[in-house]
Amino acid sequence: MTNLRQAPAALDRIQQNWLAARERQLLNWLCAHMPASVTPDKLTILGMIGAAMIFAGYVASNLSPMWLILAIVGYAVQWFGDSLDGSLARFRRIERPSYGYFIDHSCDGLANLLIVAGIGLSPFVTMDVAMIALAGYLLMSIHTFLSARVVGELRLSYMAAGPTELRLVLIGMTVMMMVLGSGRGLFGEWSGFDILVGAIGGALILLFVGQTLITGRKLAALEAQPPFNR
């Protein structure tokens, strides 16, 4: 039986996205000025509230594009909670590695489901295209968690981009939704936003395939044995 009390092996956090250094400075400042009453768990809950705001904003945009403002505010709330919960735990040295890892990534999965489903339920992107983006995200999540297990690295960014850069792209897309409208008819039955979201999903899927090949070759080289030992 697995001993749940056994601490997991330490993971090397790899974060090399464009905004990582400045974002880390901001997060450290926020952690240093955070009231004692604010805890990592409360921030995790706040992040989920932000994801629910994003979902509601996209769905309500069927009534009026002005509801997209709620989604944009939700992205800011979701960033604040999601980025600060682990940072605050490490800053205060109150980490719970197993609990934090499990809850944080479980909430990330649910939050991203809410975000992508909300986009798919909006009048700007079809659900079929949104699910391609969700599939790409889930595949990259699988790769990240598998790499954490077999390589000991928790990679939080790929190709100089991470969650913060992706949020900024989605915020920019949401602003354009308010400005341009649905854009239906520009590409047949698809809108320009279908093309963008589908391209993001396709890029994530291709990135998963590429990273799987790279990691697989690395592991094969590390575990190669002389013929007489096989």
Quick check: is 40 in a domain? yes
pLDDT band at 106 (very low <50, low <70, confident <90, very high): very high
Quick check: is 156 in a domain? yes
> 118: domain range?
18-224
DSSP 8-state code for residue 67: G
Characterize the bridge pairing of strands 153-155 and 12-14.
parallel
Task: State the pLDDT at residue 208.
Answer: 92
Residues 6+ apart with CB under 8 A from 48: 81, 107, 110, 111
User: What single-letter amino acid sits at 133?
Assistant: A
Most confidently modeled range among 21-25, 71-75, 142-146, 209-213 = 71-75
Q: What is the pLDDT of residues 50-98, one digit of tens each?
A: 999 999 999 999 999 999 999 999 999 999 999 899 899 989 999 888 8
Quick check: is 100 in a domain? yes
Which CATH number fits the domain that encloses residue 198?
Answer: 1.20.120.1760
What total of structural domains would you count in the chain? 1
pLDDT band at 148 (very low <50, low <70, confident <90, very high): confident
User: What single-letter amino acid sits at 203?
Assistant: A
Tell me how far apart the alpha carbons of residues 193 and 16 are, in angstroms, rounded to a whole number.
28
Residue with tokens 């932000």: 50
Quick check: is 49 in a domain? yes
